[in-house]
Amino acid sequence: MSQSSPVPVVERVDARNRYEILVDGERAGLTAYRDRGEQRVFYHTEIDDAFAGQGLASRLVQEALTDVRDSGKRIVPVCPYVAKFLQRHEEFADLVDAVTPDVLRWLDSRLG
Ligand SMILES: CC(C)(COP(=O)(O)OP(=O)(O)OC[C@H]1O[C@@H](n2cnc3c(N)ncnc32)[C@H](O)[C@@H]1OP(=O)(O)O)[C@@H](O)C(=O)NCCC(=O)NCCS
């Protein structure tokens, strides 16, 4: 009998400022952000090695950015993965703000 593969689930975890992707209840990766007014500044995305190369980062970021849209916020793609994703997904272009030196200084001070 064939087994169907588990459907990944993406959750926003406000207390940790990140979105997580779960596979079969196990955390497979995350994309981390800080909020700067109406801007959600994404600065790091990672998928655990055991789950790499399955398109999970793409699914995670797609759902995270859709949540940003639904929340009425804007996207600042400091994370190179999110920036690359946005180059290929023009449907989010109207929500994207530039990564400026001001944003980078602000992020540094937030992340210590
Ligand atoms: C980058 C990472 C999140 C990709 O996870 P994944 O689930 O294997 O990714 P997907 O299968 O959804 O997508 C693979 C794509 O990611 C791209 N990618 C890999 N590393 C990347 C990086 N550092 N920056 C941007 N894009 C990257 C690949 O080129 C590939 O693109 P393609 O689809 O055009 O071939 C994962 O490899 C990782 O955790 N790396 C270590 C942390 C890291 O470098 N994070 C990115 C910068 S914060």
Q: Which domain holds residue 80?
A: 9-111
CB 76 within 8 A of CB 39: yes
Q: In this model, does residue 32 exceed pLDDT 60?
A: yes
- Give the chain's domain count: 1
Q: In this model, does residue 1 exceed pLDDT 50?
A: no
In-domain check, residue 1: no
Average pLDDT over residues 13-40: 97
In-domain check, residue 97: yes
In-domain check, residue 74: yes
Q: Which residues line ligand 1 (CB under 6 A)?
A: 44-47, 52-58, 79-81, 84
In-domain check, residue 55: yes
Minimum CA distance residue for ligand 1 atom 17:
81
Residue-wise pLDDT tens digits, 68-100: 999 999 999 999 999 999 999 999 999 999 999
Domain harbouring 13, CATH code: 3.40.630.30
Question: What distance in Å separates the CA atoms of residue 37 and residue 7, rounded to the nearest whole number?
Answer: 33
